[in-house]
Amino acid sequence: MDLEKLKKIQLECAKKVIQRDDFDEIKTVGGMDLTFEDIKRDPTRAWASLVVIELETLKPIYEHVVEDIVDFPYIPTFLAFRELPLLLKLYKTAEVKPDVFFVDGQGVAHPRGCGIASHFGVETGEVSVGVAKSKLFGYAKEPGPKKGDFTYLRYKGRIIGAVVRTKDNAQPVYVSVGHRISLKTAIELVLKTSIYRVPEPTRLAHNLLQKVRREKLRGKRLF
């Protein structure tokens, strides 16, 4: 594989990212997640999930899962090339499209400005937010201990995201613009949808995937 060519794709993607609120109203938020049968193998079977919730109630109104084979290896900072094809299959086959997509990964908080959340947003034209459980890039001070406390994630003095405390005394999450949204609104949405550490859309998507994965692997062992 030609990593230099892939870097150019990411740099071109970064130029297309819109980092301002480019939508009318947000009533629903969808969380996307992905899991593998064997994360250390290539190729391996994988599943992706989408759970859509109502912003007002935080209750799920739609869920969808797809399965396929993933054969691109895990390479740090090139996650989109491994996971995006399955997320696009999930998106294209979903009967309900939320107003905003939370993607389990980085948005512009990426060495080339286009992590998987931004890549997904640019590719589909949808509003997207990167919500990651760990930092990939940049530096930031630790936020205060209370829900709603946050500090900015920076690189060379430029703000690329935020470290956000979504629950009192819990580990923070790393929020960055995916596409067609401002960082301020992205932070507000993440906090509004958070009961636990991980916002409800992505938490529910993760839980759904774990259930599907267990059932699929149990079925595999039976035959």
The helix or strand, by DSSP H or E, that contains position 35, with its residue range, turns out to be strand 28-36
Name the burial class of residue 143, with classes exposed (0-12), middle (13-18) and buried (19+) by CB atoms within 10 angstroms of its CB.
Answer: middle
pLDDT band at 39 (very low <50, low <70, confident <90, very high): confident
pLDDT band at 96 (very low <50, low <70, confident <90, very high): very high
Domain presence at residue 49 = yes
Domain presence at residue 152 = no
Q: Give the CATH number, domain containing residue 58.
A: 3.30.2170.10
Q: Which of 126-135, 174-183, 214-223 has the lowest mean pLDDT?
A: 214-223
- pLDDT value at residue 1: 75
Instruction: Count Cα neighbours of 105 within 13 Å in the Cβ-side half-sphere.
Output: 29
The helix or strand, by DSSP H or E, that contains position 53, with its residue range, turns out to be strand 44-54
Domain presence at residue 117 = yes
The model's pTM is 0.95
Answer with the residue of higher pLDDT: 218 or 133.
133
Domain presence at residue 72 = yes
What is the percent of the chain with per-residue pLDDT over 70, rounded to a whole number?
Answer: 98
Domain presence at residue 216 = yes
Please give the average per-residue pLDDT across 20-35, as a whole number: 97
Domain presence at residue 161 = no
- Beta-carbon contacts of 56 under 8 Å, excluding residues fewer than 6 positions away, are 27
Looking at every residue in the chain, the average pLDDT score rounds to: 95
Instruction: Count Cα neighbours of 58 within 13 Å in the Cβ-side half-sphere.
Output: 13
Question: Cis omega (within 30 of 0) on the bond before 145?
Answer: no
Domain presence at residue 93 = yes
CB atoms within 10 A of CB 118: 33
Domain presence at residue 39 = yes
Query: What tens digit of pLDDT does each residue of 59-94 get?
Result: 999 999 999 999 999 999 999 999 999 999 999 999
Rounded Cα–Cα distance for residues 162 and 173 (Å) = 8
Please give the average per-residue pLDDT across 185-191, as a whole number: 98
Rounded Cα–Cα distance for residues 216 and 66 (Å) = 12
Residue-range definition of the domain harbouring residue 82: 3-132+175-185+192-222
Structural domain total, the chain: 1
